[in-house]
Structure 1
Amino acid sequence: MSITRRDALIKGVLLAVCATGLPAQGLAAGDEAAAAAYLGVRDYAGVRALAETLARGTFKAPPRIPDRFTKMDRDAYFAIHSGRKSRLWAGGDSPFEVGMFHAGGLFQYPVRIFEIVGGETKAIGFDPARFTYGDVRPTVDEEDALGYAGFRLYGRLNWDRDLASFLGASYFRAVGGELQYGLSARGLAVDTARFGSEEFPMFRALWLHRPKQDDGSLTVLALLDSASTAGAYRFVIEPGRTTVIDVDTAIFPRTRLDSAGIAPITSMYLHGENDYRQRDDYRPEVHDSDGLCMLTGAGEWIWRPLHNPAKPHVNAFTDNNPRGFGLLQRDRNFDHYQDDRIFFERRPNLWIEPKGDWGPGRIELVELPARDEDDDNIVAYWRPDQPPQPDKPAELSYRMHWGTAMPDRLPAPARAVATRIGIPEVPWAERDRKNRTFVVDFVGGDLMMLDAAAPVRPVITVNTGKIARPVARRIQEHAGWRVTFDLLTEGAAMVDLRMFLEHRGGALSETWTYQWLASDL
């Protein structure tokens, strides 16, 4: 099983429709009361109150766009264009402009978009004049049932390249200085690890605060809704070499959210240095991210390389008040990808930095089988031990960092930059596919201050099986150190591994973790 971008959005729509029950008592898309309430939002407090009211009613799916537009294929949908003149705030002195996404194809439920300026709120009504169409053009009768699927943000340093976008369910993403999209974020994950039963909450409405001429950031408010929950969000987007988005959220469940995922990140991993199992590709590596990085509440750095499993797989990393986590693309070498169209080496990292005390819980990593690079098969999020409940809503804040660099104030020890796995090479003996050789390269930190004779050793632990021939040696070509060892699985179906580099009793590196699965052979 795999979940693609297409599957995710369609599943979100179907779950929304299937969950629709009795008419909502209160606010729902399409109600006159909802329209008036949306226009009454002036700030985050307003959208928070709206979400709290919405959660008291029964979920009701928003109206669907006309059938001719739901049936559009990819080519027909992307034949719809909008130029700069059609953007919100174009032609003035605004530091930002906003382009609208047309509803259609996979994006079948329009989101309401509003502008807040001078203490007043006004609707940005759907206007087909903002677009040029291909073969599918709306009739006059269809215009009232159409709408926007989301928006993209542009900045004055480059009006031709967008900096962030909100499109589909509660998905959004941003770029750093490379202006290269890659992984995505979501407002909330629900039942992600219940394969086949995941719920995809959607943003029903978005409010944009009109920026002043000298503003360096844009504030976006969002109202989230699904069968299980409603929620309010505030995003303060500050583009830059590393784009920073400060997020405040209030989650008001309709039911107990035992498997709620906070600050969820979605990415893609098809194959890389540690995973050539299904490779039939001219490109040595294909992935938007190559590992999950964590900074625990106790100050330990942990790195977990990603892989493309044969079966759906979940790992949990228990923590208390985490200091940060994210999906990163550490490998920045074009030669390792050889893709001169997509440029995987430019894909941004996304680092989540919690604000306040998040308490006990765990970071969950979900890895799904991927058949091609359109499969978003990697998800990471924070799952609190005390889940949001109808009588205990959750309020959290965090900062997102989008770009190729980590925040400067987070100095890290030596880090693992490559993990390679293969069959052990044992002279004069038959090669056993059930055993594995691991080759892990570390760079950075204090490693370069040590000469090749320094007593650096790998400290390796496993929950089952045995480790043979562990060696750490300096590799001048990599400006770092390489660890090699053999894992003797002894028939185990799964082996958990942990390793770090030690020098004279002190740790030199982050903790490298891996989970080897016999099913991946």
Structure 2
Amino acid sequence: MADFPRRHFVQGLFASTALLSCATSGHAAPANPSGNSAANNAATPAPAPKFDFDDVVRRARDLAAAPFDARPPVLPDALAQLDFDTWRDIKTRSDKAFVLSPQSPFRMQLFHLGHLYKRPVIVNTIRDGIPTPIPYAANLFDYGRAKFDKPLPVNLGFAGFRLHYPLNSPKSSDEIISFIGASYFRFVGRGESWGLSARGLAVDNGSTNEEFPFFREFWIEASQQQGDRAIIYALLDSSAATGAYRFELSPGKQTELDVSATLFSRKTGVKLGLAPLTSMFLAGENEHRFKDDFRFELHDSDGLLIHSNTDEWIWRPLRNPPTPQITTFPARDFRGFGLLQRDRAFDHYQDLELAYQSRPSYWVEPHENWGDGHVDLLELPTADETNDNIVASFVPSESFEPGKALSFGYRITSFLDAAKFSPNGRVINTFQTVAKALGSSEPVVPNSRRFLIDFAGGDLAYYLDDPSLIEIVSATNNGQILRTFLMPDPYIKGFRAAIDVALPPGQTADLRLFLRSGQRVLTETWVYSWLPQ
């Protein structure tokens, strides 16, 4: 079962969906004077239309026109009071896993309600284009250590679902994707462990008015065109907007999830975050404020990468700030963004159980231009690794008003190899220290700091024999750059750039730095928000 961290537990909302039934007449057909049967004269009934994305769009549109109902049903106390470990011990019985189709390699298991997952969702399977809801039944589950004094309600519902697939070996199935809690979902590629998550939608992210849209209902089927793909439809609801989603899962070494969505607005003045990604950053080489731990680094992701429409690659190391921080990056018609885990060295984490070095990176690529907007990066302070404190999403500039629909599509790729999504020299380390040479007697400029940035990859190794061909390009929006200098680093076949910066007391600065040779840009642009502590 997936390692579900004790974090981002946001509750879903139960809503029953009316099931359409066909009534047949009990009257006999009248006699036919010609002797031909009535059946021969009757028109052949048209086949029932197959369920598809348009059906979910219609439901989302109708839902947006109805009053928002956020009231969840009350769970039995025995479920609501389960602790995390007891809830996690409840599993779908292996002999009760659902087969999407006879030829499909996917198997579906359901998540039981309980602990902090208190809002049921409806889960349907689709066969031959016909959706069928899965009724709750106690015999679907092995309850492990959980004991109940009386039977659970027969209309209980489920907390979510997960799909299994022979991802890492043709002889066994692995959990590859799961949907549970609000609009959260996560998936993995070959050789990856569970880490960051994605969401269907963010609303007023980072504000006191933030809300968490949730999926009310799912429909799951095996692809009819390609048997090694699964298709998931989902109906999203919130007080701000409703939405129809279609997810097409393509498993592999780098698993891909193609997303199509149509949103309908319910109210004015909300900030929507599209394709939101959620992760955890407690400590890294750039910021390790917590000393009482044998592990030097603790994070699911260590940086935000953005590919702009001007072909600039921007790398922003993540932080665990002392106070909540939102950083915005202009991103008109951007080509992609993602939260990446670049540091793959086990000895930097030293965690034998949680395997931070194999946590996936997620990369979002729009299927079409999303227009004017910006990528928001929210960083929240956290004192431990159980909290998701990082959120990145695209925020459109255009307001989203009631009566409007917003359709968009994108692909999320889960991967381990950072080189795939950044062809230039990449930032692999960010360090900071006192702004003077070690052992030097020179006075330290007040309120100054030295940042060391390691670049590797791309074509940097070519310049190791003649570093004089490389220029540091740096800038700050505040304070003063005291000096910059460059050192070859044969250990990484790249270079270490240094920048010393001074700031007036109590102020902050946004720093930028990249390497070039002549007019040729050699690296990503390193950006950093310096908050002196």
Alignment of 1:467-486 (within 5 A): 467-486=481-500
Alignment partners' CA distance in 2, 1:103 and 1:258: 31
Structure 1 segments unaligned to the other structure (5+ residues)? 17-27
Partner of 1:9: 9
Which of 296, 304, 317 is matched with 1:305 structurally?
317
- The 1:325/1:55 distance shift into structure 2, 3 A limit, reads same
CA contact (8 A) 1:95 1:212 kept: no
Could you tell me how far 1:381 is from its partner in structure 2? 0.1
Could you tell me how far 1:434 is from its partner in structure 2? 2.9
Which of 12, 29, 32 is matched with 2:15 structurally?
29
- The 1:279/1:253 distance shift into structure 2, 3 A limit, reads farther
Could you tell me how far 1:237 is from its partner in structure 2? 0.4
Could you tell me how far 1:276 is from its partner in structure 2? 1.4
One-letter amino acid matched to 2:434: I
Partner of 1:111: 121
Could you tell me how far 1:428 is from its partner in structure 2? 1.6
- The 1:366/1:86 distance shift into structure 2, 3 A limit, reads same
One-letter amino acid matched to 1:109: R
Could you tell me how far 1:179 is from its partner in structure 2? 3.5
How big is the alpha-carbon RMSD for the aligned residues of Structure 1 and Structure 2? 2.3
CA contact (8 A) 1:96 1:153 kept: yes
Which of 55, 73, 85 is matched with 1:63 structurally?
73
Could you tell me how far 1:406 is from its partner in structure 2? 5.3
Alignment of 1:101-500 (within 5 A): 101-137=111-147, 142-156=152-166, 157=170, 159-194=172-207, 196-211=208-223, 215-256=227-268, 258-405=270-417, 408=420, 412-426=423-437, 427-429=440-442, 431=444, 434-454=447-467, 455-500=469-514
Could you tell me how far 1:388 is from its partner in structure 2? 2.4
Alignment partners' CA distance in 2, 1:42 and 1:213: 16
CA contact (8 A) 1:190 1:257 kept: no
Could you tell me how far 1:36 is from its partner in structure 2? 4.0
> Mean alpha-carbon deviation: is it higher for 309-318 or for 430-439?
430-439
Could you tell me how far 1:281 is from its partner in structure 2? 1.3
Aligned-partner SS, 1:208: strand
TM-score by length of 1: 0.90
2:62 matched to 1:48? no
Deviations 1:146-185 (A, max 9, x none): 2211111111336442011111110000011113111000
Could you tell me how far 1:380 is from its partner in structure 2? 0.1
Alignment partners' CA distance in 2, 1:463 and 1:208: 50
CA contact (8 A) 1:271 1:279 kept: no
Could you tell me how far 1:77 is from its partner in structure 2? 0.6
> Mean alpha-carbon deviation: is it higher for 446-455 or for 135-144?
135-144
Percent identity, aligned pairs only?
37
CA contact (8 A) 2:183 2:212 kept: yes
CA contact (8 A) 1:73 1:105 kept: yes
Alignment partners' CA distance in 2, 1:6 and 1:393: 35
Alignment partners' CA distance in 2, 1:260 and 1:151: 26
- The 1:215/1:350 distance shift into structure 2, 3 A limit, reads same
CA contact (8 A) 1:270 1:371 kept: yes
Deviations 1:61-94 (A, max 9, x none): 3424322211111122122122321110189542
Name the larger-Rg structure: 2
- The 1:192/1:245 distance shift into structure 2, 3 A limit, reads same
Structure 2 segments unaligned to the other structure (5+ residues)? 22-47
Aligned-partner SS, 1:320: coil
Deviations 1:316-367 (A, max 9, x none): 0012111000000111111111111111111100000001120000000000
Aligned-partner SS, 1:302: strand
- The 1:41/1:366 distance shift into structure 2, 3 A limit, reads farther
- The 1:136/1:277 distance shift into structure 2, 3 A limit, reads closer
Could you tell me how far 1:375 is from its partner in structure 2? 0.9
Partner of 2:109: 99
